[in-house]
Amino acid sequence: MDLKKMNNHYDIIITGGGCAGLSLAYKISKQQKLNNLKVLIIEKEEKKKNDRTWCFWTTENLVFNEVISKSWGKLQFSSGYFDKTFDIKPFQYHKIEAKDFYPFVKGEISKNKNNHLLQDTVHSIDCENGIYQVKTGQKTYTSKLVFNSILDIKNLKSSLKKNQTLLNQHFKGWKIKTENICFDSNSFQMFDFDIPQNKEVRFVYILPESSTKALIEFTIFSKKPLIDNEYDHFLKKYISKKLNIDSYIVEEVEKGEIPMTDFKFRRIEKNGVHNIGIKGGMSKASSGYTFYNIQKDSSKIAESLCLNKILNPYQVERYTIPERFRIYDSMILDIMENKGEYISKVFSTLFQKNSIHKILKFLNNKTSFLEDLKIMSSVPSYPFIKAFLKKKLL
Ligand SMILES: Cc1cc2nc3c(=O)[nH]c(=O)nc-3n(C[C@H](O)[C@H](O)[C@H](O)COP(=O)(O)OP(=O)(O)OC[C@H]3O[C@@H](n4cnc5c(N)ncnc54)[C@H](O)[C@@H]3O)c2cc1C
């Protein structure tokens, strides 16, 4: 049977057309050598909502420059113990909104007639004699290569080992427009820990778009989300009491959850399916930052496909989150889970005693081991040693 002649057969199938699925399809479509490949992306949603605001910091020029809607060169940190605004240049903190990202990327992908975007729900992915069968409600599609970004949280919970942690980063944000000038649009607030911690990790994150517009997000790292009006109640109080803003309208709402875990996601499943995105371990366990790693990963996958190669999990770790950073994240997660209120002190010391450039490099998993040691010796070590021993990390 000539698979190529079957109209439901593709060279590559990408399941889940969110950030990772679309990024990978985009990077493949930008490689001339891969232009003849038939690529199918299966996504269950229409992807028209502004369901995410992605931010990341870098000194590099990234491919999605076209959809970066705002960049900041200054970062604010507040905790009550330590408050400072840092100049982060040559880094820039960039913002991309889903409402710009999805149509732009889909438009670029659709320029190549070999790419097909299908709105359907994937029910199963099976492999027989080296051929994958991806079943949706309607049809079965086949391919020799599948990249999967569909994460099943229930499955993740039941697969956790005893010494692994799963926290939920849950947040709700209001994009507000104020009557008067209220914000410095050159700097964003990465953390305002100066709010009641409730034995958890709680902070406010502020992205000012202009002097009268900002996204203000109440973020918690804990086991369970709050009920909806608890976020609203907090945001209302924070905006009036802390920011002293009385006159404003809420233009948009962003609500989300990100799993934060030291679970070892498999890059390659036993049946050979390649996992990408959060499912492929691209999320930093202690912060939930994922976008930057997804971009690195999808570029590298497309480059390796040009060379007819498949990256092994160790190569992937090296350019995304090397093993030692996974160990640090695992310790921080344990402290977040068991002594959440302590995190604001750890971060205050971190920001107080180290250069901002080193911190941003460290949080992006880019520092050398020697730099890591210097950074780690600047914060109280006891809770980290305790977490290290408890989790039996080596
Ligand atoms: C609100 C929000 C804000 C975030 N902000 C940031 C940020 O500022 N910086 C950062 O680095 N990270 C951020 N993240 C984390 C991370 O970057 C995003 O979650 C990112 O979208 C992860 O990409 P992904 O492809 O793994 O998952 P997704 O983007 O969620 O893509 C998975 C896709 O699979 C689809 N799908 C699920 N089940 C099926 C099925 N059965 N069949 C077909 N399709 C299916 C889903 O509809 C979804 O589109 C944020 C996350 C959220 C939720």
Compute CA distances 169 → 101, 202, 284, 294, whole Å.
23, 10, 12, 19
Centroid of ligand 1 to alpha carbon of 290 (angstroms): 9
The pTM for the full model equals 0.95
Centroid of ligand 1 to alpha carbon of 265 (angstroms): 16
Nearest ligand 1 atom to the CA of 95 is: 8
Per residue in 46-74, pLDDT (tens digit) is 999 999 999 999 998 767 999 999 999 99
Domain boundary among 260, 286, 301: 260
258 Cβ inside 6 Å of ligand 1:
yes
Backbone Cα Rg of the chain: 22
Position 2 scores a pLDDT of 60
Average pLDDT over residues 73-98: 96
Domain boundary among 239, 260, 281: 260
Q: Are residues 107 and 249 in the same domain?
A: no
Structure confidence at residue 6 as a pLDDT band (50, 70, 90): low
Among left, alpha and beta (phi > 0; psi -120 to 50; other), residue 80 is: left
From 14, 43, 320, mutation site for ligand 1 pocket: most ligand atoms within 8 A of C-beta: 43
∠ CA 95-75-19 to the nearest 5 degrees?
25
Position 135 scores a pLDDT of 97
Per residue in 224-257, pLDDT (tens digit) is 999 999 999 999 999 999 999 999 999 999 999 9
149 Cβ inside 6 Å of ligand 1:
yes
Centroid of ligand 1 to alpha carbon of 279 (angstroms): 10
Domain boundary among 223, 241, 260: 260
Structure confidence at residue 310 as a pLDDT band (50, 70, 90): confident
Burial class (CB in 10 A: 0-12, 13-18, 19+), 325: buried
**Would you give the DSSP letter of residue 157?**
H
What does the alpha-carbon distance between residue 49 and residue 56 come to, in Å, rounded to a whole number?
Answer: 21
Query: Which alpha helices (DSSP H) does the chain contain, by range?
Result: 19-29, 98-110, 153-159, 228-237, 291-306, 313-319, 323-338, 343-353, 356-363, 369-377, 382-391
From 150, 203, 276, mutation site for ligand 1 pocket: most ligand atoms within 8 A of C-beta: 150
Burial class (CB in 10 A: 0-12, 13-18, 19+), 251: exposed
56 Cβ inside 6 Å of ligand 1:
yes
180-212 burial: b if 16+ Cβ within 10 Å, else e: eebbebebbbbbbbbbebeebbbbbbbbbbeeb
- Is residue 366, in this structure, part of any structural domain at all? yes
Domain with 303 in it: 3-45+98-151+262-319
Position 390 scores a pLDDT of 83
What does the alpha-carbon distance between residue 267 and residue 316 come to, in Å, rounded to a whole number?
Answer: 8
55 Cβ inside 6 Å of ligand 1:
yes
pLDDT at 3 over 90: no
Structure confidence at residue 387 as a pLDDT band (50, 70, 90): confident
Q: Are residues 227 and 239 in the same domain?
A: yes
Q: Are residues 28 and 110 in the same domain?
A: yes
Atom 10, ligand 1: residue with shortest CA distance: 289
Q: Are residues 146 and 274 in the same domain?
A: yes
H helix or E strand, kind and range, residue 215: strand 213-222
User: Which of 2-16, 24-38, 165-179, 352-366 comes out lowest in average pLDDT?
Assistant: 2-16
Position 391 scores a pLDDT of 77
Centroid of ligand 1 to alpha carbon of 168 (angstroms): 14
**Total domains, the chain:** 3
pLDDT at 5 over 70: no
Report the CATH number at residue 224: 3.30.9.10
Arithmetic mean of pLDDT over the chain: 94
